Every structure is written in C-alpha cells, then in structure tokens.
Amino acid sequence: MKILEVRTYQCKRYYAYRKTMKIVNMSSFPPKCYYCDSKNFGSVDGYERHVVTRHPNLPGYPGPADIKYYRLEKQDMYWEREIKADFEWK
Ligand SMILES: [Zn+2]
C-alpha cells in the first residue's frame, strides 16, 4: 500500500473505532483539569481556554502515552484509551 492509502486506512479505522465506542458527542471535555485543581469548565471552549492559558505546551486531550509520560490521573475520557491493534472495522 502507498503511504496515503495507509493513512486513509488508519483514519477510517479510527473513526470506526470511535463509533463502536459510542463516541458520538465529540464536544466533550474532562470533569476536571489534568494539571491542576480547576473544574466546572462548563464547555469545551472554557476547558480549552483554561488549558491553553494556564498550561501552555501541555496536551488538553492526553492520549495513553501522555498519561504515562506526565503521570496524569485518568478521567475515563475517550482520548485516554488505547486503540486495540486487533480492532476490526467494516
Ligand atoms: Zn489546570
């Protein structure tokens, strides 16, 4: 497969995965900040504004690798999950 085809495949795979995980509402945000005690952001905008202004250079939506690297507390958000290598999509 060509590089572009591989990328498209991975992208499709990821979207299919999100669908099966019932991740329909993409505009979600964590109940509290990963890096400080702030909470009750009210909206994605509020959360992103907080992370960008208070914690520049830190990921607002940490993946499994970030969680490990920064030793963050998991909040059961979809971006924290690892995509299984054996995941099948149709
Ligand atoms: Zn914070």
* Cα-to-centroid distance, 27 and ligand 1 (Å): 19
The pTM of the full predicted model, rounded to 2 decimals, is 0.64
The predicted-structure confidence for 67-90, as pLDDT tens digits, reads as follows 999 999 999 898 898 876 666 665
The predicted-structure confidence for 50-73, as pLDDT tens digits, reads as follows 999 999 999 999 999 999 999 999
- Cα(51)–Cα(33) distance, rounded to whole angstroms? 8
Cβ-based burial of 68 (10 A; exposed 0-12, middle 13-18, buried ≥19): exposed
Is pLDDT above 60 for 12? Answer: yes
* Cα-to-centroid distance, 16 and ligand 1 (Å): 31
* Cα-to-centroid distance, 78 and ligand 1 (Å): 19
